[in-house]
Amino acid sequence: MMNNTNKKKDFLSYIKTPLSEMSIAVLFSANNIRYERCQLYSDYIQSLLALIFDTYMGDEITTEEYKIQHFHWCWDKNIKNFIEEGIEFKDTDVSYNYFLEFMFEVFYTVNGKENKPHIAMTIRTLWLSLFSYNRVKSRSDVDNFIEIYGILEKSLKIV
């Protein structure tokens, strides 16, 4: 039986140890990850984040209900913007709920975010890094990336 020290080491290794380029390539190939889609999904996420950060009116006038409405408006606007470019994402519950929960966890519930511009930059950088096709990643990074890639893949309407 594994003791707690070994479990901690294994977990830290999972989240910190970089995989080789070959390991990443094998995982990407096994999960049908395509470079062009990585770029598209990264653009989609960055566009959503830009809408959220650029149109948020501030905590002092924003209620919990408004935050949900704000996210919903940004989500719909992002989808419409991509449709205008000939790229259609279906409004799936899974992708909507994933990003809604994420934004509530790291943005909407953070007090005083208007005075902490690093929060928006950190969130943008996180997503750019996660969807960077050629960046060295840990197994944890790859697992998270594959999960989110799959969610967005199901949202993309192929015509």
- In a domain, residue 150? The reply is yes
Domains contained in the chain, number: 1
Domain span at residue 89 reads: 47-157
Closest by CA position to 131, among listed 61, 67, 39, 52: 39
- In a domain, residue 109? The reply is yes
User: pLDDT digit of tens for each residue in the chain (159 aa)?
Assistant: 556 676 656 655 556 677 788 888 888 899 999 999 999 999 999 999 999 999 998 888 778 889 999 999 999 999 999 999 999 998 789 999 999 999 999 999 998 888 888 999 999 999 999 999 888 888 888 899 999 999 999 999 876
Q: Which residue has tokens 């929960």?
A: 101
For the stretch 100-119, pLDDT in tens is 999 999 999 998 888 888 99
